[in-house]
Amino acid sequence: MDIAQIFKNNQNWVQTKLKVEPDYFTELSKGQTPDILYIGCSDSRVSAEELMGIAPGEAFVLRNIANMVPNTDLSVMSVINYAVEHLKVNHIVVCGHYYCGGVQAAMKSGDLGILNPWLRNIRDVYRTHRDELNKIEDEESRYKRLVELNVQEQCINVIKTAEVQKAQRDRDLTVHGWVFDVHSGGLIDLNIDFKKLLQNIMEIYRLDLADPIKQEK
Ligand code: CO
């Protein structure tokens, strides 16, 4: 990788943008009003903006190994908080991808050091859906299905957060589960029934959003 070339590319990009719109960066510097929070994989082949065909300023983005939303991960929880409560996004996307190295590693039992606790979250998804997954004989198909089920489970983790539950009562916030097929370049909507999912888990995760201190009186 020629690092110097990156800076040349950047200057070319600046000039291209300015040619089309002289105020482009002046406008960009005024602030961001993205409508989408995109949570995707760090995989270098799975870009965020490029595969969605959107411009800087249109999506708030978090990428980590295997597009995970662990309940105790401060990074992802802060991103969700900021996107929902401050940026007021109306869409949250969890985008997985086939041929995901993180999901593949979780299906094997190798010791991967610091990656172990991270990947264990994916093994938990496997355990939750063990019956369905074990029925799939073809290993590649089973692996692809785990990618999809992992997206679904991470969407559920998004839905469980207090921020999303609160926003659901005030406005039309939707959670989407997608998969990017690296082999075709296509984006697949898993058509997760977000409202139904929400109903099914609310008896367990529902938060009473009234002020807990006031309630005690
Ligand atoms: Co991946």
Catalytic residue at 97? yes
Q: Dihedral through CA 148, CA 150, CA 155, CA 160, nearest 10?
A: 150
How many angstroms separate the alpha carbon of residue 178 from the centre of ligand 1? Answer: 13
Distance (angstroms) between ligand 1 centre and the Cα of 43 equals: 5
- Burial class of 19 by CB neighbour count within 10 A (0 to 12, 13 to 18, 19+): exposed
CA distances from 27 to 11, 74, 217 (A): 18, 31, 50
pLDDT at residue number 194: 76
Domains and CATH numbers, the chain: 1-30 (no CATH), 34-195 (3.40.1050.10)
Q: What are the backbone angles phi and psi of residue 156, rounded to the nearest 5°? A: -65, -40
pTM of this structure: 0.92
Distance CA 120, CA 126 (A): 10
- 200 C-alpha to center of ligand 1: Å? 28
Give the pLDDT confidence score for residue 217 in this predicted structure: 52
User: Is the distance from CB of 77 to CB of 158 less than 8 angstroms?
Assistant: no
Runs of H (alpha helix) within 21-97:
24-28, 49-52, 74-81
Q: How far is residue 4 from each of residues 1, 8, 11, 16, 71, measured CA to CA in Å?
A: 9, 7, 11, 19, 40
Task: Examine the residue annotation and report whether 95 is marked as an active-site residue of this protein.
Answer: no
Q: Assess whether 41 carries a catalytic annotation.
A: yes
Helix (H) or strand (E) holding 188, with range, is strand 187-189
Of the candidates 95, 100, 155, 176, the residue annotated as catalytic is 100
Output the CA 97–ligand 1 centroid distance in Å. 6
pLDDT in tens, 67-84: 999 999 999 999 999 999
Which pLDDT score is estimated for 140? Answer: 94
Q: Which residues of the chain have pLDDT under 50?
A: none
pLDDT tens, position by position, 180-205: 999 999 999 999 887 787 778 878 88
Catalytic residue among 23, 73, 91, 97: 97
